[in-house]
Amino acid sequence: MPSARPSTADKRKTFRELHKSGCFVIPNPWNVGSARYLQGLGFKALATTSSGHAHSQGFADGAQSMDDVLAHFKELATATDIPLNADFENGFADDPDGVAENVTRCIAAGVAGLSIEDSTTDPNIPLYDFDLALARVKAARAAIDKAGGDVVFTARTEGFIRGRPDLEETIRRLKAFADAGADCLYSPGIKTREQIEATVKAVAPKAINFLNSGAFGFTVSDLAGMGVRRISVGGTMARVAMDAFIKSARAIAGEGKFDSFGGVITNAELNKFFSDDRKSF
C-alpha cells in the first residue's frame, strides 16, 4: 500500500525549510507529465512557468486568463507530492487591493509558494513605479498572512528582462521588497557573478532565486558558492521540448525526413515510468 500523500500544509512546511539554508534547483514543468517526471528524478520542489504553460496551450506568455492559470496551478499541486511554487505573474491586477484578492485565490489552489512581479502589461511603462510596486508587495504579504502565512512569498523585480537593466534600481527594489516581508527575492535577467553576488548581499539573510535560463556557465555548485539559495529555469525546459518538436516537424514538412526520430526515448520506457509513478498515488 502506498504511504499517505503529504498534505498541502506538509508541502508548505517543506518548502519553507528548503529556503533556510543550502541551495536547491526548482525546475519548471509545464504539464502533469513533465511535473511527475521531474518529481521522479528526485527534485525537492517544482515551479510553474507562465510561458511554458501558455505556449503549450497555444497562447503567448501572459495572454492566459487568471482562471485558466489558477486551474493549472491546482492541477499540478494535486498531481504531485512535492512543493509547487506558482509563477503568478503580476498578480493579474494593477492595484494593491486587486493583487491581495487574487493572491488569496492563488493560495486556495494549493500552492506552497507564489511570486509577484513588478512588471506591468504596458510596454511603454514596463515597471510599476517604486511606490506602487512596494504597495503591491505589501498587499500580497498581508493576503498571505491573513491566510495563515505559511505560503512562501517571492517578490520579483523585472528590470533586466523588461528593458530597464539598472542594477542599482534592482537592488533598491529587492531590499524594499525584503523589508516589506518577501521571503525570497528574484531579479530574472541578471547574468554575471558580480550582479548575482550583489543581490545576494543586498537581501541577506533572505533567499535569492537565480534564473538559470541560458548557457551562463554556472553550475549548481558555482551558484551555491555565490550564496544563491534557489535556482529556477523558467520556461527554458519547455522551450527545449518545443524546439525539438519544431525542428522535427520542419524536417518532415520541408524535407520529408524523419531523422529526428532516431534515439528518442521509447513508448515502453515512458509507459513503465508513468505506470510505476502511478503506484504511489
> What is the spatial distance between Cα 171 and Cα 193, in angstroms, rounded to a whole number?
15
Does any domain span residue 32? yes
Does any domain span residue 277? no
Does any domain span residue 280? no
Specify the CATH number for the domain of residue 224: 3.20.20.60
Does any domain span residue 260? no
In angstroms, what is the C-alpha Rg of the chain? 19
List the chain pLDDT tens, one digit each, 281 residues.
467 899 999 999 999 999 999 999 999 999 999 999 999 999 999 999 999 999 999 999 999 999 999 999 999 999 999 999 999 999 999 999 999 999 999 999 999 999 999 999 899 999 999 999 999 999 999 999 999 999 999 999 999 999 999 999 999 999 999 999 999 999 999 999 999 999 999 999 999 999 998 777 899 999 999 999 999 999 999 999 999 999 999 999 999 999 999 999 999 999 999 999 877 77
Q: What does the pLDDT read at residue 139?
A: 98
Contacts 24+ apart (CB under 8 A), 275-279: 277/36, 277/39, 277/40, 279/2
Q: Identify any residues that bridge with 127 across adjacent strands, giving them in sequence order.
A: 119
- Reported as a single tens digit per residue, the pLDDT across 121-136 is 899 999 999 999 999 9
Does any domain span residue 266? no
Residues spanned by the domain of 25:
8-236
Please confirm whether the linkage preceding 205 is cis (ω < 30° from 0).
Answer: yes
Does any domain span residue 262? no
SS3 of the chain: the string is: CCCCCCCHHHHHHHHHHHCCCCCEEECCCCCHHHHHHHHHCCCCCEECCHHHHHHHCCCCCCCCCHHHHHHHHHHHHHHCCCCEEEECCCCCCCCHHHHHHHHHHHHHCCCCEEEEECECCCCCCCECCHHHHHHHHHHHHHHHHHHCCCCEEEEECCHHHCCCCCHHHHHHHHHHHHHCCCCEEECCCCCCHHHHHHHHHHHCCCEEEEECCCCCCCCHHHHHHCCCCEEECCCHHHHHHHHHHHHHHHHHHHHCCCHHHCCCCCHHHHHHHHHHHHCCC
> What is the spatial distance between Cα 106 and Cα 115, in angstroms, rounded to a whole number?
10
Does any domain span residue 222? yes
Does any domain span residue 121? yes
| Number of independent structural domains in the chain | 1
> What is the spatial distance between Cα 188 and Cα 178, in angstroms, rounded to a whole number?
16
